[in-house]
Structure 1
Amino acid sequence: MEILPAIDLKEGLAVRLSKGLMDSAKVYSKEPWELAKKFEDMGAKWLHIVDLDGAFAGEARNHKVIEKIVSSTNLNIEVGGGIRDEKRIIEYKNLGVYRFILGSIALKNPQFVKDMALKYSLVVGIDAKDGMVAVEGWAEVSDMRAVDLAKEYANAGVDAIICTDISKDGMLSGVNIKFSEEIAIASGIDTIASGGVKDINDIIAAKNSGKIAGIIVGKAYYEGKIDLKEAFSLS
């Protein structure tokens, strides 16, 4: 099971939100590339980056910062937030980004995602509020059930699904293991749990589930609730 440290970018800074609310942003680093290097030194193989400004605007807004992060480490980097077309995928690929997270467009244009999955390394991001898919930086909640969207991508060639329970995100209240397992079962695709990691016990629970391929760690690290070196030793 992979552990993916997370860097969320807002106006070039590394921040964390609570329940996806932009006005809840707390700044943790003014130099995100140094943070990425620190994760690598701790033993990380992957880095999960979200362009929060891009997620709300529908277009990339932290391109230069992401470029600096990529050039500062040898991590496998996945990026999401505002990727709506192939042009943006190509731009990130040219920077050295390893794979690309498609969220809102995965709901609105499944065929596009399936077409891109034939050409690029893609992850589908499924963010849910009360089991229903949320899009546009979580500002809108659709009438699509998260598990039904997961089924849409079974055998579609995407690398993985990242599933986030918005009610848990940034709250240090524990990962929604059951929700992550439901997505994994519905899709048959490697599923990465996101949102709510509070301590090492969440890492252990995700690993013991046997159905979860990865877990994203954000606020728990920034608030000193988890020792990432210990977590990497368990993965």
Structure 2
Amino acid sequence: MILFPAIDIKEGRCVRLIEGRMESATVYSHDPAGIARTWQEQGAEFIHVVDLDGAFAGQPRNRQAIADIVRAVQVPVQVGGGIRDVETIDELLTLGVNRVILGSAAVLQPALVAEACRRYGQRVLVGIDARDGLVAIQGWGKTVQKTALELALEVKELGIERIVFTDIRRDGRLSGPNLAATGRLAKDSGLQVIASGGVSSLADIRALKDLEADGVEGAVLGKALYTGAVKLPEALAIARGERGLC
């Protein structure tokens, strides 16, 4: 299982939100690239970046910070937030981003998802964010009458093989991931799922590791890392199945 330390960027700074509310932002660093280097030094194999301003604006707002992160590390970086056209995908991949995550576009612009899959294959993921089972878009500000599974099956038909699934109610609350919903989504959709939202302890990592057979291939770690509730090297050892920690 792959663990993805998260770097959420707001106005060029590394922050964490609660349930995606911008007014709840806690600033952890003014140097997102430095944070990325720290996670790499602690063993991270992949970095997960979200342009929060971009998610609300509908286009990336923190390009410089993203470029700085990509230059600062040797591990691959995946980026989401406000990616709603092919030109933006091209720009991010040219910057050195390894994978892009389409969010609202999966609901609003399915043709873009299909075209992106045709051009870039597995370098394109879809982020499915759900509040009480229903998909939320546009910075989580709008809920649509579509379930996470319905959207997952739709994007699968468009060529998507991998999704990032976030239970918004768990995000930033250190309340534990929604294991049941995550495992069920992976199993019922047949997609590879990266779990996001709520990871709070090594026990949560173990529980997600147990869902690997259902298609849960990774987990995003956010607030738990920044508060010290989870130490990345220990979490990575569990994710890799190393003896003595599983």
List alignment gaps of at least 5 residues for structure 2: 240-246
* Offset from partner CA, 1:160-211 (integer Å, 9 cap, x none): 1000000000000000011111221232111000000111111100001232
The answer on 1:226 being equivalent to 2:230 is: yes
TM-score (norm. length: structure 1): 0.98
Measured in 2, the distance between the counterparts of 1:40 and 1:155 equals: 35
Pick which of 111-120 and 138-147 moved more. Answer: 111-120
Q: Which amino acid aligns with 2:237?
A: S
Q: Which amino acid aligns with 2:234?
A: E
List alignment gaps of at least 5 residues for structure 1: none
Q: Which amino acid aligns with 2:76?
A: N
Measured in 1, the distance between the counterparts of 2:8 and 2:160 equals: 23
Q: Could you say which residue in structure 1 is the equivalent of 2:10?
A: 10
Measured in 2, the distance between the counterparts of 1:59 and 1:150 equals: 23
Q: Which amino acid aligns with 2:101?
A: I
Q: Could you say which residue in structure 1 is the equivalent of 2:180?
A: 178
Q: Residues 163 and 113 from structure 1, CA distance in 2 versus in 1: closer, same or farther, beyond 3 angstroms? A: same
Measured in 2, the distance between the counterparts of 1:232 and 1:145 equals: 31
The answer on 1:133 being equivalent to 2:150 is: no
Measured in 2, the distance between the counterparts of 1:146 and 1:7 equals: 24
User: Does the 8 A contact of 2:86 with 2:112 survive in 1?
Assistant: no
User: Does the 8 A contact of 2:106 with 2:155 survive in 1?
Assistant: no
Measured in 1, the distance between the counterparts of 2:147 and 2:52 equals: 23
Q: Could you say which residue in structure 2 is the equivalent of 1:76?
A: 76
User: Does the 8 A contact of 1:148 with 1:186 survive in 2?
Assistant: no
Q: Could you say which residue in structure 2 is the equivalent of 1:109?
A: 109
| Identical positions, percent | 45
CA shift for structure 1 position 130: 0.5
Matched ranges for 1:147-166 at <5 A: 147-154=149-156, 156-166=158-168
CA shift for structure 1 position 157: 3.1
CA shift for structure 1 position 233: 1.1
Q: Which amino acid aligns with 1:124?
A: V
Q: Which amino acid aligns with 1:173?
A: S
User: Does the 8 A contact of 2:101 with 2:126 survive in 1?
Assistant: yes
Q: Which secondary structure state, in structure 1, belongs to the residue aligned with residue 135 of structure 2?
A: strand
Task: Give the CA RMSD over aligned residues.
Answer: 1.0
CA shift for structure 1 position 56: 0.2
Q: Could you say which residue in structure 2 is the equivalent of 1:213?
A: 217
Pick which of 6-15 and 174-183 moved more. Answer: 174-183
* Offset from partner CA, 1:110-143 (integer Å, 9 cap, x none): 2220221121111100000000000000000111
* Offset from partner CA, 1:5-62 (integer Å, 9 cap, x none): 0000000000000010000000001101011001111111100000000000001100
The answer on 1:46 being equivalent to 2:46 is: yes
Q: Deviation above 4 Å: which 4+ runs of structure 1? A: none
Q: Could you say which residue in structure 1 is the equivalent of 2:242?
A: none
Q: Which amino acid aligns with 1:21?
A: R
User: Does the 8 A contact of 1:11 with 1:53 survive in 2?
Assistant: yes
CA shift for structure 1 position 75: 1.4
Q: Which secondary structure state, in structure 1, belongs to the residue aligned with residue 170 of structure 2?
A: coil
User: Does the 8 A contact of 1:165 with 1:176 survive in 2?
Assistant: yes
